[in-house]
Amino acid sequence: MRTLSGLWIDRSARPTLQDQLARQIRERIRNGDLAPGDPLPSTRDLASELKLSRNTAVYAYERLISEGYLESASRAGIFVSRAITMPRDSKRAATWKKNAPRSAAPVLQPHLTAPRPFRPCQPDVGLFPLLTWNRMRGRALRREGRNILHYQASCVAGLPALRENVATYLHDHRGVRCDWRQVVITSGSQQALFLLAMLLLKPREGVYVEDPGYVEARLAWRNAGARIVPGRVDAQGLPLPTPESGRISLIYTTPSRQFPTGVSLSLPRRLALIDFAAQNRSWIIEDDYDSELRYGAAPLPSLQSLDASGRLIYTGTFSKLLFPSLRLGYVVVPDALLDRFVELKHLSDDHLPLLDQATLALFLESGAFYSHIRRCRREYAERHALFLELFARTDLPLTFEHTDGGMNVVGYLPEGSDDAAWSRRLQEAGFDVPALSHYAIEPMRPGLVFGFTAFAADQLRVEFKRIRPILERAAKERA
Ligand SMILES: Cc1ncc(COP(=O)(O)O)c(C=O)c1O
């Protein structure tokens, strides 16, 4: 199949697909990327490469033939017209590439990719019951009719049915105490963190964060101009801020399973943190991103379930239990902040897609959500055990700690190792294993963060065979 590499099609752009195609081929001829006499792909090949209808390709070619850029030789196909002379000008060609729309994906490469092994925090989307989901989607459409396609001013905080179902789930499974009206549906937990940063932080205000910790949260605090105060995570989780920390307006923590180390915040620390927030009038954001995935024991109750001060903001996400591109998460907002939070949410996106929210509401209500969690927990527990077992059979210098669940495990390297160099080396071999230092603010014990949940047992075995010699070589060179 003949192709024409690097063409872009932007389905959201105003020019028709036919116009986009004709314009790009014309530009290439003008730039000298295509020379007189060069053959072009058949309309069938072009249409199949670009996922266009064949007619679109036919019309684009016909237009260029009528303009004199192309000619058709009845059996041999379509060629750049031999009657034109265009300078080969590499500078102009480079400009064309630079000006290609940034939002569009290069059509001849796969647009969307799956995570490479052993990328942390990735669910196995192959386990997701798409058929059930689509059934629920159909049911939601039938139930709501076309009204679900309108703007709905009453849904800025989320579809009420979904908020109610989330509140029930949080109450029953995470011990969260709230009225459903406090549940606001957000575009992943990231939007909740971003909006909370806008709402709660003024420049130079102190935000106390886990070190190592979730980078995207830190970026939200930084964006608000906050002063980031790192708290070194130890075997009990995040310690209390010290007097040297200065005034702390906000504490961000992942208490159920600290990201990325996997440590659970101990009960004394939980109580002390809540007390600190009450005494100092600080807010706590509890990011409960993967607490359901505790293997061999029931999930720990949330920090929010212990709080009586009203200073705790609880966020969660469906990215890990369902699938990340759904972009639905939630935040339980204390009454004192609720109206202002919803106003900000309104400015940010009015409301999130109602059809997805209605589908998710039914998915929760029908129990399909709970069956899916059970299935994931079972599968991931097996993968977790297998992953650790594979490494345990080697004498690689990696020590795994805090391994009671989650989506990731940290393999600690010997003191003095350059974990970023190990990670780069793995990346060159096609792996995606971030260094612990990537998540760190201050220098710390080196390690590598492995995710295992997105990879079925067979794939884990195959990838382990591939990664092992690379790790062994890295270890030998270090020794
Ligand atoms: C600690 C933590 N919080 C939250 C999230 C989820 O973000 P979102 O809901 O925006 O997909 C992640 C994802 O990796 C995470 O690691």
**Domain of residue 45, CATH code:** 1.10.10.10
Domain boundary among 332, 367, 402: 367
Instruction: Looking at the structure, tell me whether residues 182 and 226 fall in a common domain.
Output: yes
Q: State pTM to two decimals.
A: 0.79
- What pLDDT, on a 0 to 100 scale, did the predictor assign at position 430? 95
The reply to whether ligand 1 has any atom less than 6 angstroms from the CB of 121 is: yes
CA of 196 to the centre of ligand 1 (A): 15
Q: Which of 166, 189, 256, 292 to mutate to test the pocket of ligand 1 (most atoms within 8 A of CB)?
A: 189
Q: Is 329 in the pocket of ligand 1 (CB under 6 A)?
A: yes
Assess whether the C-beta atom of 259 lies below 6 angstroms from ligand 1.
yes
Burial of 458 (0-12, 13-18, 19+ CB in 10 A): exposed
228 CA to centre of ligand 1 in angstroms: 19
Locate the DSSP E strands across 192-305.
Answer: 206-211, 227-232, 248-253, 283-287
Q: Where in the sequence is the domain holding 40, given as residue range(s)?
A: 17-98
Q: What is the pLDDT of residues 135-146, one digit of tens each?
A: 999 999 999 999
In a domain, 104, yes or no: no
Answer yes or no: is the C-beta of 317 below 6 A from any ligand 1 atom: yes
What pLDDT, on a 0 to 100 scale, did the predictor assign at position 104?
47
The total domain count for the chain is 3
Is the separation of the CB atoms in 189 and 329 below 8 Å? yes
Q: Looking at the structure, do residues 81 and 30 belong to the same domain, yes or no?
A: yes
In contact, 254 and 217? CB cutoff 8 Å: no
User: Over the stretch 317-353, which tens digit does the pLDDT of each residue have?
Assistant: 999 999 999 999 999 999 999 999 999 999 999 999 9
Q: H helices within 52-129, ranges in order?
A: 54-67, 90-98
Ranges of residues in the chain with a pLDDT under 70 are: 1-3, 85-110, 479
Query: What pLDDT score does 245 carry?
Result: 95
293 and 228 together in one domain: yes
Residue 170 domain-assigned?
yes
**Model pLDDT, residue 86:** 61
407 in the same domain as 361: no
133 falls within a domain = yes
Atom of ligand 1 nearest to the CA of 214: 1
Specify the pLDDT at position 1. 59
- The verdict on the CB of residue 260 being under 6 Å from ligand 1 is no
- The verdict on 281 and 383 lying in the same domain is no
What burial class does residue 207 get, using C-beta atoms within 10 Å of its C-beta: 0-12 exposed, 13-18 middle, 19+ buried?
A: buried
Last residue of a domain, which of 336, 367, 398? Answer: 367
Q: Residue 85 C-alpha to ligand 1 middle, in angstroms? A: 55
Atom index in ligand 1 nearest the CA of residue 317 equals: 9
What pLDDT score was predicted for residue 368? 98
Kindly state if the Cβ of 254 falls inside 6 Å of ligand 1: yes
184, 245: one domain: yes
* Residue 96: predicted pLDDT: 47
Regarding whether 385 and 462 lie in a shared domain, the answer is yes
Task: Report how far apart the first and last C-alpha atoms of the chain are (Å, whole number).
Answer: 50
| CB 249 within 8 Å of CB 268 | no
Q: How far is the CA of 458 from the centre of ligand 1 (A)?
A: 27
Residues 99-158 have pLDDT tens digits of 555 444 444 445 789 999 999 999 999 999 999 999 999 999 999 999 999 999 999 999
Considering the domain architecture, whether residues 77 and 147 belong to the same structural domain is answered as no
Protein residue with least CA distance to atom 9, ligand 1: 188
